[in-house]
Amino acid sequence: MKVSNRRARAIRMYERLLSEGIVNEQQYSATILLAASCYQCEERTRKTKTQKTTYKDIHFNFVSPYEMALYIISLPMWFEWQEQAKIYDNIPNTFNKEKENSRPTVDRIESEEHYERGNIRHVPMELNRDLSHEKKKKPQAYFYMKDGKLFFKKFNSITDIESELDISSYYRKRAINIMTIFQQKQRNPIEEIAELEWKVTERNKRIEMMKRRGKELNYIEALKQLNKLDIETIKSLNANYKS
């Protein structure tokens, strides 16, 4: 969907929220930004030929972008959103990059989960990009040929693959005869434990990044709670596996 079309729909959502007494005229900019972000979330999950791979298994678990906006307005994050919108509005349009980086956006707390209640939060666009980059650092297992020999190795990320094997992403995606993605359909307890431990480690990295920025205290607490649950699951799996 073109941005101009999304903005037109966002304006109509604002007018509806205004007529229903849910927002006021002073909240115009914040509401427009919220509505546009909610529409964008819904658009990302549409099954189209141009849909990004990142969103193919992600669902939009709200009746509509309007319902999503209503949910967010009912949360404390709505006040944070309005404050971030003020920062965005106060940056002159001539500072395009800085202004875009400060734009408030709706993001998922857990990237593997859906757009749904309990899994959405507000972050500035710059932070959204940073987190998106962190989410892409997932372990990869590959077969590859080197000096006429077949090797199998696990890498921490696709970037590590490209660096160690000295190939670009262009060739990595196309060199099927040299490198084949290895994906296991069935996981044993050891693999499940390893995945949970990796998630805990990645969340701890996010927490440290949030602390350095001095923001997102609610998000930090949410990550700590998720870590606590995963650590309990790891203990349970370890106990069952040893028994």
Tens-place pLDDT, residues 60-111 = 999 999 999 999 999 888 998 998 898 888 888 776 777 888 889 898 888 7
- Which residue, 226, 176, 184, is CA-closest to 206? 226
User: What pLDDT score does 152 carry?
Assistant: 64
Q: Percent of the chain at pLDDT above 90?
A: 25
Contacting residues for 68 by C-beta, under 8 A, at least 6 apart = 38, 41, 42, 60, 62, 106, 115, 120
Q: Does residue 210 carry a pLDDT above 50?
A: yes
> How many whole angstroms separate alpha carbon 199 and alpha carbon 186?
19
Domain residue spans of the chain:
3-134, 140-181, 189-242
User: What pLDDT score does 148 carry?
Assistant: 59
Q: Does residue 48 carry a pLDDT above 60?
A: yes
Tell me if 216 sits within 8 A of 123, measured CB to CB: yes
Cβ count near 34 (within 10 Å): 29
